[in-house]
Structure 1
Amino acid sequence: MLSPLYRGTTALVCMSLALPAAAQDYPGFLGTLILTGGKRDLSFGTALSRTVIDEEEIEDRQASTVAQLIDSAPGVTLVNGTTPQGSGINIRGFGANTTYGSDQKIAVLVDGAAVGSEELYRIGTQLFTDPMLYKQAEVLRGTIGSFAYGAGIVGGVVKLQTKDAGDFTGGEPGFGGAQTFEFSSNGGGKVSSTTLAWQPTQGAEFLLNYTLRDQGDLTAGDGKTIGNSAFRTPSGLAKAKFTFGQDDAHELTFSYSQTIADDKDVPYDQFATTGGSFGNVDRLTDTRQAVLDYRYNPASDLVDLRMNLSHADQKIEYAYVPGSSPLEGTPTFPFLVGTVNADQRYQTSKLTLSNRALFGSDMIGHDLLAGVEFIRKERKDNGAAGAPGGTDRRLALFLIDEITMGAVTVTPALRYETSKVESATTFGTFKNDALMGGLALAYDFGNGLSVFGSAAYTEGLPIIDDLGAGAVAIDKMRKTEKSHTFELGAEYTGADVFASGDSLTLRGNAYATQMWDITSYTVAGSTSTNLERVETRGFELEASYGHATGLYVDVAGHIGSGEEFAPGASGIDWRNAAADRLQLTLGQKWSDRLDLSWEMVHSADRRDAFGADLPTATVHNLRATWRPELTSWLDRTEVRFGIENALDLDYVGHLSSPTRKAPGRTFKVSLTKAF
């Protein structure tokens, strides 16, 4: 089982500044620097392919969904539009696909709670939540940063962090909050977000947020209506945080968030724009996450203990709309009605215990993160809709040690995971386990330049969705999907590079991934023959430049390719491969009062959900943020203007259904008043 890992780490001949993803919850871990010249913060001093979208950028982008927000990261594709019910997240060619909103190759976490990971037919990621609830979205690309978050992660991890009361009170006792109103021309979109914060003492703070987002059907660049693009989603967040004990060594945080979508007479197939053969349904989606996080951080280098207990619960209730399917009255209709009327519910409980310890000598230093994780996933049986029920119990151990020896840093990472999947019906019980890990190496030249590389091996254990009758299903439940990823790159950061007072950060990395013993993907045209292997490769670039005058330039790009191999056949293009894409932002800031920017997004080598080639697309977006002078009555007010798809381009997004075009020109304006 370990031989691919050993081969990978032995073959790695590269040097890097390695940052374990698991450690990024800890401030100052590895001494990573966050530098920025424009909107996008870039991490310097890390072998991890990591993009952070902070609260200011979240607000500036005025995104309608979380998926729409994070597709600005290199290698990330937004699949099937900008609605929470239909959109999916694809990272480096893995994640959402043409059938399911998830393929288990990416993980999505909300304050540590695992969400949006079910393989539900013709539904997106199930990430029904609102961007207004969050102050940070973090995208970890690839496998090397995943060992503290799960097994079988090939594409990456999306981590969402909700807002805190201290963000509005300034960390001092008293009341605070904010009210935001937002309007968009395309679809008549309206948003109201209200946040109330109270800090009665230095060690206690409370936050409440209610956000209502209402959008009608959108219009494409050709002026035609995009069907099935309307939605109305009320969302709420409640959060409490307490710090106590000597030197505030104890920290206890509770958060609860909920989003409801109550849709009437909408297509059952959320990837499509019309009902098709499935017809329409009334659909109620109720998704909730509750998280209890405890941290004990005394004045000791050996103890930084954290416990994260989370529970995610989602219910989807359907009712078929009579007369909406053209198959009504045919012999196949009873089976179809059983499919679209089948309710779904799944719950995931997770407990993660971890500790960070610093120790060593003047010659060698260790920054060690060790943890254990208990996971229980329970899903209601819904065989009629292809979603078998059962329970999935898992135990995982992980260990990540950053070893520093002068300019050289070596970071080994290990994860062991065992699972027991038990069918709710007659499919049986299956046990599996796997040992996986990676190694990152780094060298810092001490002049702003570093080079890095990593090798990682992971295994995906069978899931509830793989349950079924017959030899094919039993084989899937007894096999783990395996993959390895190699990365190599360099980064540079410096000040006064071209002019006095400027700053420049550059980061480029190449990656190559191979996956085998595949159970997630079948050969095109087959429902039982799995692919033999999938190979992907690419290059990612991120850069940020800022001038003392306020001029800034941000760049994010990805170029890559992939092949899929059927048994005994040569490779063909990988059906879910990411497009070649370049995103360029040019902006000007006048202190913190006014920020004007132009963003160009150019995409090539694109295809739709059925593999048909799409033409190159270049989309232009304009944004402005204005904060009035402090002396005016508009103190602590922010006004934002945006024009998305400013040239009204008529196009279909990469990997999207050919009938679901991207929205045309959209004017957006938002007003936020803090108090």
Structure 2
Amino acid sequence: MTPTTRKRSLLLGTTSLLLITINAATLHAQEADQGFLGTLVLGESKRKVQTNTAVPQTTVDQDEIDDRQAGTVAELIDSVPGVSLVNGSTPQGSGINIRGFGANSTYGTDQKVAVQVDGANVGAEELYRIGTQLFTDPFLYKNVSVIRGTVGSFEYGSGIVGGVVRLETKDASDLTGGELGYVLGQTLGFSSNGNGLTSSTVLAWQPTQDMEFMLNYTWRDQDNQQDGNGDEIGNSAFTLPSGLLKAKYTFGENRDQSLTFSVTNTTSSERDVPYDTFTTTTDMFGNVDRDTTSRTAALTYNFNPADNNLLDLDVQLSYADQQIDQTYISGSSSLEGTPAGAGLLPLTNADHRYQTTKLSFKNTSLFDTNAVSHELRTGLELIRKERLNASSAYGGVDNRVAVYAVDDMRIGNAWTITPALRYETSEITGSTAPNDGVYDNDALMGGLSLRYAFDTGFAVFGSAAYTESLPIIDDLNNATLMARSEKAKTYELGASYDGIDLFRSGDSFAIKANLYKTELYDITSFTSGGSHLKSVDTEGFELEASYAMESGLYLDMNANITDGTQTAPDDTVSDWKNTAADSLRFTVGKKFGEELDLSWEVVANASTDVSGTETPGFGIHNLRATYIPQQGVLKDTQIRVGLENVFDRDYTPHLSTRSAPGRNLKLTLSRTF
């Protein structure tokens, strides 16, 4: 069955299911009109499907973050349709790929996926054979939001084709519940594969109603893991200490103003490890000593007066700093001393540093114009990125100014029309001759989404979006690339349903299906045979669904079918080299009140053939149990047990360069005082 046939089959099946739910929902609506039926206690699944928007967006909240017991941030979002990981079980040599863009086995990023921590833009540019450098810990965050594609991205950046990953750190009030005093929390985690050990200590203090402070220190350590065959996965060991400091002060008339400051810091120190972070053993590049520091800071002022719907202002100053110091281990490369190895030392002995400072102003206004209700979000961003000049990379400064406007216009309870515009200018100045010129570029981009909601809970939506990737500092050596931008168009079409009492009283069901097609052209990021590709065309189908019963039984499912082609300068068409595998993830579970949650998860990837290179498919099983006693001596204690890859399957996910870990038993104990 071809990818196109699979898409059509799945779409037809989904459409049929949506039509069935319309009829069922209509019958229940008619019954409800006969009189008030009383308060319903609805069941809940692990994840809420975002059916109230045309934007393909998924949010992983605190409960799911805790439940998944992820070792990396990437592992938090691998359950989102359209998201694929490159070696996701370690911070080094890993990356996030969304809809075929983002990380690959050569570079940790292609600038098509944006990552933000508390609004700060994080991540480096194209570092050869080094992963995304998203060094941080899941314990620092209370939710992660993933926006797929372009249409919802104009508030966060330009050139975003894959999507946006937004991480929000924890607040003290999340633990104190707004009550005065302090809460001390301690979490210990253990994993059998790699002898993993994690300790996370958090202190939340709220001395007054207007002041709150949060301090978190997390230390995570892991030895080399083993795959399903029992073979060691080289270069998979790491030690990762991370910290978070956050404070918030609320003031003003009716407490309508606030000032929030957050800072995160994560370090990694590796000794005598392969320079190529995507490999498991030493290769021709040899080994290095590598120290990595990743830190972010954000200061945010909010003014939201209760008597003025036109004003909800956020002013934020953010700073992100990624620093990588490397020292080549003499004699570790087989090419050392040969003509072929002459370029090794400048590459492997290079230090890298990226510093991004952003001052942003964002306001949300609520108002009506006749029959139209508006939620207008406007913003101004001043961004400065500084890249250290290295022996293997060009240094310089990229100064950008961006303005944007996104207006959610609602007509009654049915129509939502959302136009979005972003204009961005860039001035890049090289720091070292001969790449020390000044290059100016600008672009106007935008999109439009339409959504129509029926009274039955069924909705249909579609969107079109256009974006441009302005030149980056990494391209300073090529005057042609510095004078043109990379362009992309994305079209989407989908449907959703969200309703209660569908099959029985107290149940809830939500489903969202989305078709997309992206055209990338005037390419500056990808090459074939030494020349830049002419175009990349990708298309796919994404599905999210959840069902929960009042008894506690729940089901979660998401699926992703994708395909892509690339066109060379000579018009030769071949498979897009970064196409992700078709995937399906299904979870069935049962909640026993607030105390116990048991679930079984199946993860399956289809076999993938890209230009004659086949990656076998796989299916693995994960078991999870969460026990939260509500009374007795164990009250305020949480116990989580997970068994991943239950049958010890040996497999390598498509796009990854290492085997996936084999069976892994995880145990997490948490206690608040």
Map residues 219-298 of structure 1 onto 2, 5 A cutoff: 219-298=226-305
Q: Is the 8 A contact 2:607 2:618 kept in 1?
A: no
Q: 1:323, CA displacement in angstroms?
A: 2.4
Counterpart of 1:514 in structure 2 is: 519
Counterpart of 2:492 in structure 1 is: 487
1:418 pairs with one of 401, 414, 425: 425
When residues 181 and 611 of structure 1 are mapped into structure 2, their CA distance, relative to the original with a 3 A threshold, is: farther
Secondary structure at the aligned position of 1:474 is classed as: coil
Counterpart of 1:550 in structure 2 is: 552
- 2:161, 2:115 → 1: CA distance? 13
1:338 pairs with one of 343, 346, 351: 346
Q: Is the 8 A contact 2:43 2:550 kept in 1?
A: no
Q: Is the 8 A contact 1:510 1:537 kept in 2?
A: yes
1:467 aligns with 2:476: yes
Counterpart of 1:4 in structure 2 is: none
Counterpart of 1:442 in structure 2 is: 451
Q: Structure 2: which amino acid aligns with 1:479?
A: R
Which one is further off, 399-408 or 437-446? 399-408
Secondary structure at the aligned position of 2:150 is classed as: coil
- 1:415, 1:535 → 2: CA distance? 23
Q: Is the 8 A contact 1:318 1:341 kept in 2?
A: yes
Q: How many residues align?
A: 628
Counterpart of 2:71 in structure 1 is: 64
Q: 1:334, CA displacement in angstroms?
A: 4.6
* TM-score, structure 2 normalization: 0.92
Counterpart of 1:539 in structure 2 is: 541
Q: 1:117, CA displacement in angstroms?
A: 3.6
Secondary structure at the aligned position of 1:243 is classed as: strand
Counterpart of 1:215 in structure 2 is: 222
Q: Structure 2: which amino acid aligns with 1:200?
A: P
Q: Structure 1: which amino acid aligns with 2:457?
A: G
Q: Is the 8 A contact 1:252 1:294 kept in 2?
A: yes
Counterpart of 1:360 in structure 2 is: 368
1:111 aligns with 2:118: yes
Q: Is the 8 A contact 2:453 2:460 kept in 1?
A: yes
Q: 1:44, CA displacement in angstroms?
A: 2.3
Summarize deviations over 1:5-64 as a string: whole Å, max 9, x none.
xxxxxxxxxxxxxxxxxxxxxxxxxxxxxx983111222210010111011111111111
- 2:157, 2:630 → 1: CA distance? 47
Q: Is the 8 A contact 2:556 2:587 kept in 1?
A: yes
1:130 pairs with one of 129, 137, 142: 137
Counterpart of 1:624 in structure 2 is: 625
Q: Is the 8 A contact 1:487 1:511 kept in 2?
A: yes
Counterpart of 1:180 in structure 2 is: 187
Counterpart of 2:107 in structure 1 is: 100
- 1:366, 1:501 → 2: CA distance? 34
Summarize deviations over 1:620-675 as a string: whole Å, max 9, x none.
11100001231x11111000000111111101111112xx1000000000000012
Q: Is the 8 A contact 2:43 2:554 kept in 1?
A: no
Q: Is the 8 A contact 2:594 2:630 kept in 1?
A: no
Map residues 132-151 of structure 1 onto 2, 5 A cutoff: 132-151=139-158
Counterpart of 1:653 in structure 2 is: 653
1:392 aligns with 2:398: yes
Counterpart of 2:333 in structure 1 is: 325
Summarize deviations over 1:177-215 as a string: whole Å, max 9, x none.
310000000000000000001000000000000000000
Q: 1:360, CA displacement in angstroms?
A: 1.6
Q: Structure 1: which amino acid aligns with 2:482?
A: M
Counterpart of 2:36 in structure 1 is: none
Q: 1:568, CA displacement in angstroms?
A: 3.1
% identical equivalent positions: 56
Q: 1:267, CA displacement in angstroms?
A: 0.6
- 1:425, 1:559 → 2: CA distance? 45
Q: Structure 2: which amino acid aligns with 1:612?
A: T
Secondary structure at the aligned position of 2:284 is classed as: helix
- 2:609, 2:427 → 1: CA distance? 38
Counterpart of 1:673 in structure 2 is: 671
1:404 pairs with one of 400, 410, 417: 410
When residues 621 and 596 of structure 1 are mapped into structure 2, their CA distance, relative to the original with a 3 A threshold, is: same
* RMSD, aligned CA: 1.3
- 1:493, 1:569 → 2: CA distance? 45
Summarize deviations over 1:366-388 as a string: whole Å, max 9, x none.
11111100100001011x32x21
Which one is further off, 271-280 or 315-324? 315-324
Secondary structure at the aligned position of 2:75 is classed as: helix
Summarize deviations over 1:259-303 as a string: whole Å, max 9, x none.
000111111100011120111111100111010111100021111
Secondary structure at the aligned position of 1:57 is classed as: helix
Q: Is the 8 A contact 1:373 1:396 kept in 2?
A: yes
Counterpart of 2:635 in structure 1 is: 635
Secondary structure at the aligned position of 1:166 is classed as: helix
- 1:162, 1:360 → 2: CA distance? 34
Q: Is the 8 A contact 1:355 1:371 kept in 2?
A: yes
Secondary structure at the aligned position of 1:540 is classed as: strand
Summarize deviations over 1:225-260 as a string: whole Å, max 9, x none.
000000000000000001111111101100000000
Runs of 4+ more than 3 Å apart:
331-334
- 2:489, 2:343 → 1: CA distance? 41
When residues 36 and 141 of structure 1 are mapped into structure 2, their CA distance, relative to the original with a 3 A threshold, is: farther
Q: Is the 8 A contact 1:171 1:202 kept in 2?
A: yes
Q: Is the 8 A contact 1:37 1:553 kept in 2?
A: no
Q: Is the 8 A contact 1:100 1:119 kept in 2?
A: yes
Q: 1:109, CA displacement in angstroms?
A: 0.2
Map residues 296-311 of structure 1 onto 2, 5 A cutoff: 296-299=303-306, 300-311=308-319
Counterpart of 1:430 in structure 2 is: 439
Q: Is the 8 A contact 1:107 1:117 kept in 2?
A: no
- 1:310, 1:239 → 2: CA distance? 14
Q: Structure 2: which amino acid aligns with 1:405?
A: I
- 2:407, 2:43 → 1: CA distance? 28
Q: 1:332, CA displacement in angstroms?
A: 4.1
Secondary structure at the aligned position of 1:123 is classed as: coil
When residues 36 and 150 of structure 1 are mapped into structure 2, their CA distance, relative to the original with a 3 A threshold, is: farther
1:348 aligns with 2:356: yes
Counterpart of 1:14 in structure 2 is: none
* TM-score, structure 1 normalization: 0.92
When residues 68 and 606 of structure 1 are mapped into structure 2, their CA distance, relative to the original with a 3 A threshold, is: farther
Q: Structure 2: which amino acid aligns with 1:184?
A: S
1:372 pairs with one of 357, 380, 383: 380
Counterpart of 1:17 in structure 2 is: none
1:46 pairs with one of 53, 66, 69: 53
Structure 1 gaps, min length 5: 1-34
Structure 2 gaps, min length 5: 1-41
Secondary structure at the aligned position of 1:44 is classed as: coil
Counterpart of 2:577 in structure 1 is: 575
